Chain A
Amino acid sequence: MDKYYTFKIKRYLPDENPQTRWDEFRVKLNSIERVLDGLIKIKETRDGTLTFRKSCAHGVCGSCAMKISGKNRLACQTLVKDMPEMIEIEPLPALPVIKDLVVDMSLFFRKNDEVLPYLINNETPPERERIQSPEDQHKILESLTCVMCGSCTTACPIFWADKEYLGPSALLKAYRFIFDTRDRAKEQRLATINSEHGIWRCHSIFNCVEVCPKQIDITKHILLLKRLAVKRGFKGGVE
């Protein structure tokens, strides 16, 4: 069943004057179509200069994260039938805008790099796979789902005020490695996140949990990290 929707999009075109403006487009979409389909229709038939990132179109790559009707979402997972008739679309907040809905994600990715996002284990590996019980694998199962779309960190008011804050995504990545029983660099990572701009900046605002497209309970993981850091503090930093 087709219906008309108005897409109110915040434009940023660095070559034009004025650079920013709001554009409105009326598009006809059916009940299984998504905001991304609407944006593609607009780019193909009304205005070829409309620029946005897209890739998998089913919520596994994280390219199309943007602010839709005031909340960060993935455009390919937001069905238009769940939205009001007038849909406001803006780029992700608090990051520099390159063009229209494309933001510069380098600051976001740099934060991930700070927590050493790779398995560090310099022991000689066994001949077969390392043993890891299913219960141990379950500990990190939720944090593995993260696609690094950027919705969480850019929705966090602490990040808006302090760009040095590591942010939910980097802290979740730290969790994924600290709690992976095969990793051996726990202390290094704990030192990085147990710092001025690390876990203690989180005030359990839960904005990240509201927007995560993979429904990861990020705050729960950060709280687990806080408890680990406190336990370590009491025992004087030893295992």
Chain B
Amino acid sequence: MRYRLNIGSLTWLVHRITGIILTLYLIAHIYVLSHLSDPVTYNKLMDFLKNPIFKIFELILFAIVLKHLFGGIRITLLEIGFSTKYHKTMSYIGAFLVFIIWIVGAFYFLKEAF
């Protein structure tokens, strides 16, 4: 069914998708960690993770975490009584903050990595 998207429903959609991805990531992360029982396996895993593609994945993960964090803050503010007249403004400000923090974070992250 086609229905027009607006900032309210788009924010919710992004929040839901980032939430699902984070949940899947968490499961994968715990699975990986649970297999680390000795220094040999640990070093093998660390070498594996030195592959540049994982750096890209981690940057994307960082963006997803930021998005879900600010989305969550917006919803919490609404639920404790912040006026609903500002829900769109909060979405825009949230998106802006995510972008700024991600750029700054990405800069330091890549500097470290390379």
Please tell me whether chains A and B touch each other in their complex, using a CB distance cut-off of 8 A: yes
Pick from A67, A69, A71, A204: contact of B78, CB below 8 A: A204
A155 within 8 A of B: yes
**A67, B4: Cα distance in complex, Å:** 10
Min Cβ gap A123→B in Å is 32
Q: Which residue of B lies closest to A220 (CB)?
A: B84
Tell me which of A42-50, A181-189, A206-214 binds B.
A206-214
User: Is A117 among interface residues, defined by CB-CB distance under 8 A?
Assistant: no
Q: Are A205 and B84 in contact (CB under 8 A)?
A: no
Mark interface residues in B78-96 (1 if CB within 8 Å of A CB, else 0): 1111011101000000000
Query: How many residues of chain B get a CB closer than 8 Å to chain A's CBs?
Result: 17
CB distance from B82 to the nearest CB of A (A): 9
| A59 part of interface (Cβ distance < 8 Å) | no
With A219-B84, A220-B84 known as contacts, the answer to whether A204 contacts B75 (CB < 8 A) is yes
The answer on a CB contact under 8 Å between B4 and A206 is no
CB <8 Å contact, B3 and A203: no
CB–CB B1/A207 < 8 A = no
Chain A residue at minimal CB-CB distance from B4: A70
Inter-subunit contact B8/A223 (CB<8 Å): no
Is there contact, CB below 8 Å, between A71 and B12?
no
In-complex Cβ contact of B3 among A70, A209, A217, A227 (8 A)? A70
| Interface assignment of A22: CB less than 8 Å from any CB of chain B | no
**What are 16 inter-chain pairs, A to B, with CB distance below 8 A?**
A67-B3, A70-B4, A71-B4, A93-B3, A157-B9, A205-B9, A206-B8, A206-B87, A210-B6, A217-B84, A219-B84, A219-B87, A220-B83, A220-B84, A223-B84, A227-B80
